[in-house]
Amino acid sequence: MTGKADPDKPARQKSDNSSRPANKRGVARLAAVQALYQMDIGGAPLTNVVSEYTAFRLGKEIDGEQYRDADEQWFKHILAGVVADQKFLDPYIHTALKEDWPLKRIDSLLRAILRAGGYELLRRRDVPAKVIISEYIDVAKAFFEDDEPGLVNGVLDRLAHELRSPEFDVKDADGQA
């Protein structure tokens, strides 16, 4: 998969008018994906990564550029939740992927996006599924230019329909689905 930005360098929301301005939860999601990627690639423990991000990255100036403030608690909840639920999340994500693309074959950055989005779909019932999907598509667009945002959309949509089917059972005026 091509068109990937450097996940080790903090991604920023695009400054053009084609993307929505980042909110603190959106920034937290982006940072959480980067942290999950870092943990997956480098094997750093959760506590070390959380400490590094809260002390040196979230809302800080990096390489002369000021990064937006993030909802620090949201960031921590996503990371801790993905770590705690990974053995449960991974099989769900695996079944939402095409048969010839097992989760272990997916790029580690894309895997981090799917895990974070999957965690929120599973555990954050206070956030509508469509909002979660949209937010993680935006995260994918911060790193990828090709087909990956579509893959994130498809996988998270399948997960949402499975994990939160009542949100998608919309009835018309006659009570028909």
Confidence tier at 12 by pLDDT (50, 70, 90) = very low
Helix axis angle, 129-143 to 108-123, nearest 10°: 170
In this structure, what are the phi and psi dihedrals at residue 66, rounded to the nearest 5 degrees? -85, 125
Residue 66 belongs to some domain of the structure: yes
User: What's the confidence (pLDDT) of residue 18?
Assistant: 38
Instruction: Tell me how far apart the alpha carbons of residues 112 and 114 are, in angstroms, rounded to a whole number.
Output: 5
Does residue 172 fall inside a structural domain?
Answer: no
Count of C-beta atoms within a 10 Å radius of residue 17: 7
- Whether 2 is covered by a domain: the verdict is no
- Dihedral (CA of 21, 25, 26, 31) sign: positive
For residue 90, is it within any domain? yes
pLDDT at 83 over 70: yes
Over the stretch 146-158, which tens digit does the pLDDT of each residue have?
A: 899 999 999 999 9
Question: Residue 13's pLDDT band (boundaries 50, 70, 90)?
Answer: very low
Q: Within a domain: residue 173?
A: no
| pLDDT above 70 as % of the chain | 81
First-to-last C-alpha distance (Å) of the chain: 38
On the CB side of 175, CA atoms within 13 Å amount to 0
Contact 20, 134 (CB under 8 A): no
Instruction: Count the domains in the chain.
Output: 1
For residue 19, is it within any domain? no
Q: Is the pTM of this model over 0.85?
A: no
32 lies in some domain: yes
Question: Residue 32's domain is classified under what CATH number?
Answer: 1.10.940.10
Tens digit of each residue's pLDDT (9 = 90 or more) over 106-121: 899 999 999 999 999 9
What CA–CA distance (Å, rounded) separates 27 from 74? Answer: 10
| Residue-range definition of the domain harbouring residue 78 | 24-165
pLDDT at site 100:
65
- The verdict on residue 96 lying in a domain is yes
d(CA 20, CA 137): 12
Mean of the per-residue pLDDT values of the chain: 84
